[in-house]
Chain A
Amino acid sequence: MQLYVPILVLAVLAAGFAVFSVSIAPFTGPKRWNRAKLDAYECGIEPTPQPVGGGRFPLKYMITAMLFIVFDIEIIFLYPWAVAFDKLGLFGLVEMVLFIVTVLVAYAYVWRRRGLDWD
């Protein structure tokens, strides 16, 4: 735990600075009320009304997020394997080849089904 205390100290410092800057921002500047200024910025046209809760967004981003999770978990498996490679020996290499091949099967499927294409 002792190793993490310095991170906490730096976090307190950074968070203090960030919160301080963000909170004093309204007080250091002038205030001149203007209706148009307080609208969402859309290059001068009347802003599009936004649905409460953010509304919908393209599904594409969700697919990216799911693929990210798949590969992030793969990375999480790779790290301890890389660190303990010497101890695992040949067995580790064979297992990791099998694992990566299995992941690549899914990867090939996603690729061929245009899951990685943007448009």
Chain B
Amino acid sequence: MNNVPTLDDFGHDPLWITIIKAVAIFVFLMLGVLFGVWSERKLISRMQHRYGPNRAGKFGLLQSVADGLKMGLKEDIMPRTVDKVIYFLAPVILAVPAFLAFSVVPFGPMVSMFGHKTPLQLTDLPVAVLLVLATASIGVYGIVLAGWGSRSPYAMLGGLRSAAQVVSYEIAMGLSFVAVFLQAGTLSTSEIVSAQAQGGTWDVFGLSIPMPSWYVFSLLPSFAIYAVTMLGETNRVPFDLPEGEGELVGGFFTEYSSSLKFAIFMLAEYVNVFTVSAMAITLFFGGWRAPWPISLWDGANAGWWPMLWFFLKLAIVFACFVWIRATLPRVRYDQLMAFGWKVLIPVNLAWIMIAATFKAMRMPDTTRGVVLAIGAVILIGAFAIWLRFDTVNQRRREARAAQIEAEFEQLREEPTAGGFPVPPLDLPHYHGVVPEQARRHADAKEVTSGSN
């Protein structure tokens, strides 16, 4: 296993190898965005029984290239009212951190590159995952500044909404990593990947139960939460509120209506999707390690092969993004925030404490009784809080439903309730319900919803 990189293997590359790697990552991301856009459009159209782009190049492969060129040749509109410096800087601030997060993503083990033994990863830090979170946070500045600098109501609201959404889901995302660090004992991405090399055994009551190696199995709740937050963090369906066209036109980039500035926003968005996918793979799916049947082959985790596994995993995760987009409707904004703050965070905290208690129980020299007592306290506390909040919510929901019901009741009896002329709500084109009176007429004909 001496080809598995550790933190000590980093920082020894000569500058030219570093530059080669950096350029490779950059090119990979640029091409990835081009083909990501194409594959998303293609996939989603197949899911909707359409063909999707099929004119430019074979299978429409060159469609995004053509789109990109076209964007470059469009007029660059800079509205008169914008704050010019911020307007100019916002796309840059959004895009650069998106790229940076990829510098700590491990693509593979140690390989020989022009005679140099070097890991297939640009660099690694003792705090690598923190760097990813930091770049995500800096990206929020781009969103806020784009909305702020545009000086238009739509952009402003879109920017604020988007920023509030991203920071809310960033907390849940940050918390979902904690269990991984608890298991791996490190924040370095390469070491997290190597920690997923072989599953340990779980000694419980004298039995040794082998554990699967990928954290997606042993830390399933963490992964489930992360999967939700990565949709929220990247503003993807079903959490694409900032771009809710019906309400906010284009969200924070309403005023970036054409030209390459708009292209940079699109680019940053897709790179962010790749980043969160790559983090999902690194933290939960064993990184570049080959999946189970292939991993039986000795050479699977050596040389350049792992890069292929990594790309395949990336493609699958990205396809899941598209699948979700084709499947789910957009959530409402208050639902989105309530879900982030009231469900993901407490569940996450409770899960972290449970995972920590399990871990403490497996430590050799601790008093099991104490740990069990703490575990019981945590469980009871979590349950009590949940019960309390749940009944409170339940009561509130029932009260609201009763109120709405009462209002409808009033409206039904008296159409002009509240002083406003209200059409009777039992007209046929509301829900196609035929009123009692009309039904008694023999010639009454039911009118379907939507017709007049």
Contacts and interface: CB of A to CB of B under 8 A. Distances in A.
Contact present between A and B (CB < 8 A): yes
Interface of A: 2-7, 9-11, 13-15, 17-19, 21-22, 24-26, 28-32, 37-43, 47-48, 50, 54, 57-58, 60-61, 64-65, 67-68, 71-72, 75, 78-79, 82-83, 85-86, 89-90, 93-94, 96-97, 100-101, 104, 107-108, 111-112, 116-119
> Interface SS of chain A: helix, strand, loop or mixed?
helix
B181 interface: yes
B360 A90 contact: yes
B79 A40 contact: yes
Contacts of B59: none
Contact of B371 (A4, A31, A90): A90
Given A21-B264, A82-B182, A29 B338 contact: no
Q: Which size bracket describes the interface of B in this complex?
A: 35 or more
Given A10-B103, A111-B342, A85 B187 contact: no
B168 A96 contact: no
Contacts, number: 231
14 contacts: A7-B100, A10-B99, A18-B264, A21-B261, A22-B260, A28-B73, A29-B74, A50-B81, A50-B153, A54-B156, A67-B341, A86-B363, A89-B366, A112-B392
Interface in B21-80: 21-23, 25-26, 72-80
Contacts of A67: 341
B91 interface: yes
A71 B11 CA distance: 33
Contacts of B73: 28-29
Contacts of A18: 91-92, 95-96, 264
B377 A97 contact: yes
Contacts of B218: none
A74 to B, nearest CB: 8
Nearest to B342: A116
B150 A40 contact: yes
A15 B75 contact: no
A41 B125 contact: no
